[in-house]
Chains A and B, each alone.
Chain A
């Protein structure tokens, strides 16, 4: 079971407290009408699936109820860093320990 630190409650808690909400930093298209089929496919269906560092959204469902973002290594399941929703995408090189 994952151990995840909620950046709002500042508490490291088991995964059962949280629900997963997919890849982070997926922006809605600013002008949907201008998108072609390929761009729609990418927005709707294509998500990163890396073996290594992954930026993802979690919700503290049984705590403060707020969404936040996390950096997790999908090759070890270690949650390396969590940060507030709305903060810019972190520099992944900072976390890369050559594990993947």
Chain B
């Protein structure tokens, strides 16, 4: 069923009893050409582009829990591409360009809103580093402009630009093409698009191990619902990557950390854009439901608990209250955590592994949501052709051996 205004009116007149499930609950077949492990945004996007761009429809997406229930459903939905290095700018801007047409392409409203992402500079280092980013972005065709404190306040009226503030605002970098999207809708839209093209989405089906034949090639995956054969297996499981890949004998330079976010009670529209502050480590936007969506930093230690310490949230809220004093008496509704997999250079790994037929897309750390369409697009290309797309060619596992890092961690202007 194609969604449209006339469908909404027609179904409404019929009492809304004609809507059908958007994708079937598939039972696992004995074997597939490609098995994708993990039905988050990246995995579902991969399946969608495999079917649409490469004609590979004999695909299963297997998921331990429910579709989009991991980090896809837990992030703060910020989208931007103002990264320093050429490799990053290409990858993330590829994603932003896909975001711009995604609702139309999927016939699914992902509520992509280019309301602008503003990153605040609080000290001389921030100012210099952001201006360097702005020039680097311009060279890569990524929009990013410098705002004075007054211009920043114009763009985001709740901002406190008093020079005597605890965190004085010396200026800001604004990417107008940045913004937010509805995270669940992204997973649902890709799931529907993939299922329409013949992809099986199998939920409540944990992958226990990856099976390899005597020749070392991939045979399939052992799951909670039996063995599923596959010529190619693609692992897209974020925080659980280490444990899944170990079963295939592949060690990756990843560490899993808790990352938290929280939302306030809903209020009327008050906050027109996304604001990030790396120096105080807080980011904030307002959802269409009216809740302020606030993101924190990671806990310092390795953990799979998806919880995180309360002091991390306290620190974030303290900073938010200094930057936006009008929010000081708002109540927070709920907070939650997820498990993110972080690489040493804070850039993802997208591509081949030492095991023939096994592919991995991981290491997105704290900033994978924004890349969802681009990540799925280039990863599908990698799986279909057996070699990386031009854009993800630098994102190999081998870069840690070669020393050719994409060191956005050292670039330090992003809270990722």
Contacts of B300 in A (CB 8 A): 19-20
A15 engages B309 (CB within 8 Å): yes
Residue of A whose beta carbon sits closest to that of B397: A41
**Contacting chain B: which of A26-34, A45-53, A80-88, A89-97?**
A45-53
Does A74 lie within 8 Å of B400, measured CB to CB?
A: no
**How far is it, in angstroms, between the C-alpha of A87 and the C-alpha of B145 when the chains are bound?**
54
Complex CA distance for A49 and B310, rounded to whole angstroms: 23
Question: In the complex, A2→B311 CA distance in Å?
Answer: 11
Instruction: Output the least CB separation between B49 and chain A (Å).
Output: 29
Task: Tell whether A46 pairs with B251 under 8 Å between CB atoms, given A1-B311, A37-B402.
Answer: yes
Residues 1 to 58 of chain A near chain B (Cβ within 8 Å) = 1-2, 15-16, 19-20, 37-38, 40-41, 44-47, 49-51, 54, 56
Are A74 and B304 touching (Cβ within 8 A)? Answer: yes
Q: A19-B300, A46-B252, A47-B253 provided; 11 other pairs, C-beta below 8 A?
A: A1-B310, A2-B301, A37-B403, A44-B344, A45-B253, A46-B251, A46-B253, A50-B242, A51-B240, A74-B304, A75-B305
Does chain B have a CB within 8 A of A72? yes
Taking the closest CB of chain B, its distance from the CB of A57, in whole angstroms, is 10
Which of A37, A49, A72 has most chain B Cβ within 10 Å? A49
The answer on a CB contact under 8 Å between A76 and B309 is no
- Quick one: CB contact mask for B249-276 with A, threshold 8 Å, 1 for yes? 0011111100000000000000000000
CA distance A33 to B134 in the complex (A): 40
Can you name 28 A-B residue pairings with CB atoms under 8 Å? A1-B310, A2-B301, A2-B309, A15-B309, A16-B311, A38-B401, A41-B253, A41-B401, A44-B344, A44-B400, A45-B400, A46-B400, A49-B242, A49-B254, A49-B256, A49-B302, A50-B242, A51-B240, A51-B256, A54-B302, A56-B301, A56-B302, A74-B302, A74-B305, A75-B304, A75-B305, A77-B303, A77-B305
Q: Chain A residues in contact with chain B, CB under 8 A?
A: 1-2, 15-16, 19-20, 37-38, 40-41, 44-47, 49-51, 54, 56, 72, 74-77
B281 CB–A CB distance under 8 Å: no
The answer to whether the Cβ of B7 comes within 8 Å of any Cβ in the partner chain is no
The CA-CA distance from A38 to B254 in the complex, in Å, is 16
**Which chain B residues border A45 with CB–CB below 8 Å?**
253, 344, 400
- Is B304 touching A47 in the complex (CB atoms < 8 A)? no
